[in-house]
């Protein structure tokens, strides 16, 4: 025999069966047998399922009372807390809407050198080109390493020609440089 149970009630059936230490089918079988035995003997139907439901209601009421006391306790703690101080500049800045894209590592006005003395790669390329004239990317990388002012960020790898080429080709800095005959020079 197969019994179809409404999916909304199946969860409750599984919970009740687990509370009894049975599988859902075994619990249903027990209920049916209890009902059939009661009908045969003329005895009123036992309140087995009703007792389980009443116990469940009592448990839910106890949980609700515990939750209400926790909420009251939290409200009392919050109302006793001191008023927050006026927002700092950092908090005010954090409250402003965020811009799309990758966040800037430093303000636009600080392109020459940052506060800790680091020099930007494109500025170092420009300085080397002013000193030595048009050069290949490999020559630029070697000259920049020899000068020792530029340190690659987030990398222990030394500066190479590929990094110089990518900076010169970058759309942000492309207008500052010109390529001709395999050499890089400053745009006029």
Give the pLDDT band of residue 117 (cuts 50, 70, 90). low
CA distance 184 to 162: 13
Q: Comparing 88 with 8, which gets the higher pLDDT? A: 8
Structural domain includes residue 115:
no
pLDDT > 70: what percent of the chain? 79
φ, ψ of residue 98 in degrees (nearest 5): -80, 145
Structural domain includes residue 180:
yes
- The helix or strand, by DSSP H or E, that contains position 185, with its residue range, turns out to be strand 183-186
What integer pLDDT is reported at residue 129 of this predicted model?
A: 92
Q: Comparing 82 with 161, which gets the higher pLDDT? A: 161
Identity of the highest mean pLDDT range in 2-6, 37-41, 103-107, 184-188 = 184-188
Between 25-29, 106-110, 177-181, the lowest mean confidence (pLDDT) is in 106-110
Q: What is the mean pLDDT of residues 1-21?
A: 86
Task: Tell me the residue range of the domain where 169 lies.
Answer: 121-186
Structural domain includes residue 157:
yes
Identify the bridge partners of residue 135 per DSSP, sorted by sequence position. Answer: 184
Structural domain includes residue 167:
yes
Structural domain includes residue 90:
no
Structural domain includes residue 113:
no
What are the tens digits of pLDDT across the range 139-177? 999 999 898 888 887 777 888 899 999 999 999 888 999
pLDDT, averaged across the chain: 81
What integer pLDDT is reported at residue 45 of this predicted model?
A: 59
Looking up tokens 């926790």, which residue turns up? 70
CA distance 143 to 28: 85
Q: How many domains does the chain have?
A: 2
Structural domain includes residue 32:
yes
pLDDT at 91 over 60: yes
Structural domain includes residue 87:
no
Radius of gyration of the chain (CA): 38
CATH assignment of the domain containing 166: 1.10.10
């Amino acid at each position: 025999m197969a019994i179809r149970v409404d999916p909304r009630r199946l969860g409750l059936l599984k919970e009740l069966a687990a509370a009894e230490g049975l599988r859902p089918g075994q619990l249903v079988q027990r209920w049916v047998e209890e009902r059939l035995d009661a009908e045969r003997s003329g005895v009123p139907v036992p309140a087995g399922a009703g007792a389980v439901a009443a116990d469940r209601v009592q448990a839910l009421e106890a949980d609700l009372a515990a939750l209400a006391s926790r909420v009251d306790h939290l409200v009392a703690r919050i109302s006793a807390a001191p008023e927050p101080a006026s927002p700092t500049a950092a908090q005010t800045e954090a409250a402003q809407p965020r811009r799309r894209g990758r966040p800037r590592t430093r303000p636009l006005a600080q392109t020459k050198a940052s506060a800790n003395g680091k020099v930007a790669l494109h500025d170092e390329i420009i300085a080397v080109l002013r000193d030595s004239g048009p050069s290949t990317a490999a020559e630029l990388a070697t000259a920049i390493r020899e000068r020792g002012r530029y340190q690659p960020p987030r990398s222990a790898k030394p500066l190479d020609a590929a990094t110089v080429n990518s900076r010169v080709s970058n759309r942000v800095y492309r207008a500052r440089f010109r390529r001709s005959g395999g050499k890089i020079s400053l745009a006029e």
